Amino acid sequence: MKNILEQFLAKGSKTFSVNDVLPYKQQNRSAVLQSIARAEKSGDVMSIAKGFYVICSPSEKINQSISPTKYISQLMKRLKLDYYVGLLSAASFYGCTHHRPIEFQVITFPQNRIKNKHLWNVHFYTSSEIVSRQKCSLIRKEAGEFEFINYSTQIVTGYDLVKFEKASGGMYNVILVLKELLSQIEINHVNKLVLGEVEISSIQRLGFLMDKLGYHDLTGPLLKGQVKARFLEKILLSTLEKKQDNNESRKANVWKIEDNIDWENIDVT
């Protein structure tokens, strides 16, 4: 089996399926399954989906851990899911987090309940907005060690951080990441974002934070697009923090956001 694994790696594939091994075993499925079972037991491969495996290097074998960037594209192709690496993982890719995220965060569509003990550090979130992101070229491809990997662009990353507040570590952490991320956002990407499918409440929160952090030039397309075209309901900035009853929280703004964040505890300089 080791020779077969070496051939897969030589062809640039970190992963393989049961069917990929059949030609090497005279189409004998039973022999293939036995060989894979032995390779799993020895730690040479790990199962990351039914009938789908990732090959372990010597160091990965010792650590019993493999970076998701080495197999995520091949896994998503196997499961026939649209995807992009997003949230804090994308923010980290752009150098906008102060520490490496504990979990590898992936946005997928359609919904798929992926459960596997070897994917303990990979968390999947579902969003139908992927379709419009692809049409508007708001997902970028970056070369990985084995295949190209899909990442959300900076504007989509910012939008998703606000939308998936809990997964992003809460609004205080979102603000700290946005402080670093907003300077990288291209205005034409903001224009593209509002042309596609969006959640209006997330646009309200993102626009408010852009203004609060001093990036007024980025809010124009949001105001002209989604906000101007709809009746906005007043909402809390953070869905996780308690409502605050003070003059600052009640301060009127075009985004209809009730600010329930204590900004004195955030360094926004």
As a three-state string, the secondary structure of 9-73 is: HHCCCCEEEHHHHHHHHCCCHHHHHHHHHHHHHHCCEEEEECCEEEECCHHHHHHCCCCHHHCHH
One domain for residues 50 and 152: no
Tokens representing 59 are 């160091």
pLDDT, tens digit (0-9, with 9 covering 90-100), for 75-108 = 999 999 999 999 999 999 999 998 889 999 999 9
Q: How many domains does the chain have?
A: 2
One domain for residues 45 and 147: no
One domain for residues 194 and 134: yes
One domain for residues 156 and 96: yes
Pairwise CA distance, residues 89 & 69, whole Å: 11
What's the pLDDT at 225? 64
Average pLDDT over residues 239-257: 81
Pairwise CA distance, residues 45 & 39, whole Å: 6
Location of structure tokens 């923090």: 241
One domain for residues 138 and 254: yes
One domain for residues 33 and 145: no
One domain for residues 107 and 160: yes
Virtual CA dihedral for 258, 262, 267, 269, nearest 10 degrees? 40
One domain for residues 150 and 216: yes
Instruction: Give the CATH number, domain containing residue 32.
Output: 1.10.10.10
Rounded to the nearest 10 degrees, what angle do helices 171-181 and 154-163 cross at?
170
Location of structure tokens 């393989």: 16
Max Cα separation, the chain? 76
Range of the domain at 10: 2-63
Average pLDDT over residues 16-33: 92
What's the pLDDT at 179? 96
Tokens representing 223 are 């105001």
pLDDT, tens digit (0-9, with 9 covering 90-100), for 155-213 = 999 999 999 999 999 999 999 999 999 999 999 999 999 888 889 999 999 999 999 99
One domain for residues 121 and 182: yes
One domain for residues 41 and 132: no
One domain for residues 123 and 254: yes
> How would residue 152 be classed by pLDDT, with cut points 50, 70 and 90?
very high
Which of 40, 63, 86 delimits the end of a domain? Answer: 63
One domain for residues 144 and 232: yes
Which of 16, 35, 63 delimits the end of a domain? Answer: 63
Tokens representing 258 are 């009730």
Pairwise CA distance, residues 227 & 239, whole Å: 20
Pairwise CA distance, residues 221 & 262, whole Å: 28
Pairwise CA distance, residues 156 & 49, whole Å: 28
